[in-house]
Amino acid sequence: MRAAVIDTYGEPPVLRPDWSEPRGDEQRQALAVHAAGLNPVDLHIASGRFYAGSPELPYVPGREGIVELPDGRLAWSDQLDQRFGSLAERTLVDPARTVPLPAGIGAAQALCFGIAGLAAWCSLEQRAKLRPDERVLVLGAGGLVGQIGVQAARLLGAGSVVAASRRPEALARARALGAEATVLTPAASDPAELAAALREVEPRGFQVVLDPVWGPPARAALACLERGGRLVQVGNAARAEQSIAAGELRGRVADVLGYTNFALPWPVKRGAFLRMCGEHLAGNLHAPYEEMPLDRIAEAWERQRQGPGAKLILRP
């Protein structure tokens, strides 16, 4: 079968025309891949330095995909075999760990509400436990997690949403998605300057921060947390490390909460995924995507590394 294969950690996958097909067992089945979603986590795993470990080489990457079930239905899953991922014509998965797509939603759109959508929605609902009328700041609003996060905050009852991004064009899009105010966060900004800009648009401070970037933006957001506020740390698109003064957390009695989709029980994932699909079908939730053939995996991999601002979908 055709498959994108990681031969060396830290290098992009190579398209192989004759890769061995996976073999099913008592629990898992080899199913045809209809579409694969590319995510930052795929690149982190392929680096060989991922905090949760990386598969033995060589392997087929791709944590999520839309597969064809034995009865012909299309279904989403992020429970694919680590060595036979979604970036191939077939993958290995337990059918019980898939979610059939609701009628009316396409495979590419559904993938937007998989790994990226869950990171946004469940960070707010499950980790921050967002309460009605709370003030929310979404960092990295130009990325897919941030774009869905702005909308999810609204749908989950936030009183106000401020969006921050290093991309000026993303700020107009964030307003269209429901943010009341926006703040530009240049890549090399000083945290104190960013904090001043955030206070200008929301002098009262924030009760919840969705943070997929870390680095200076997160440091600035912490300085603007209301007493007892929560920052949910989802990713580190800006920087992997950032110093924080201990007194900053103590004085605000603030919480920095780590989040990962890996920790979500399957029923919670399934429910959140279906809720987002339902909100999309109702016209309340939107997410951009771009489809590419698997032959362009090297290009897609590099674009994902740079931050595409949309879900990249690979078709086998």
My answer on whether 138 and 106 are in the same domain is no
Residue 67 in domain:
yes
pLDDT higher than 90, residue 243: no
Q: Say what the pLDDT of residue 237 is.
A: 82
pLDDT higher than 70, residue 188: no
pLDDT tens, position by position, 41-52: 999 999 999 988
Q: Say what the pLDDT of residue 254 is.
A: 82
pLDDT tens, position by position, 261-272: 999 999 999 999
My answer on whether 120 and 109 are in the same domain is no
Residue 42 in domain:
yes
My answer on whether 38 and 103 are in the same domain is yes
Q: Cβ contacts of residue 133 below 8 Å, gap of 6+?
A: 157, 158, 159
Helix, strand, coil fractions of the chain, as percent rounded to 5? 35, 25, 40
My answer on whether 65 and 139 are in the same domain is no
Instruction: Report residue 236 as tokens.
Output: 């580190």
Q: Say what the pLDDT of residue 197 is.
A: 93
Angle at 88 between CA 61 and CA 308, to 5 degrees: 60
Helix (H, G, I), strand (E, B) or coil at 250: helix
Window from 30-39, 186-195, 231-240 with minimum mean pLDDT = 186-195
* Average confidence (pLDDT) over 227-247: 86
- The answer to whether 74 touches 99, Cβ cutoff 8 Å, is no
Q: How many helices (H) and strands (E) does the chain have?
A: 10, 15
- The answer to whether 153 touches 224, Cβ cutoff 8 Å, is no
Confidence at 187, pLDDT banded by 50, 70, 90: low
CATH number of 253's domain = 3.90.180.10
Q: Give 30's strand partners.
A: 92
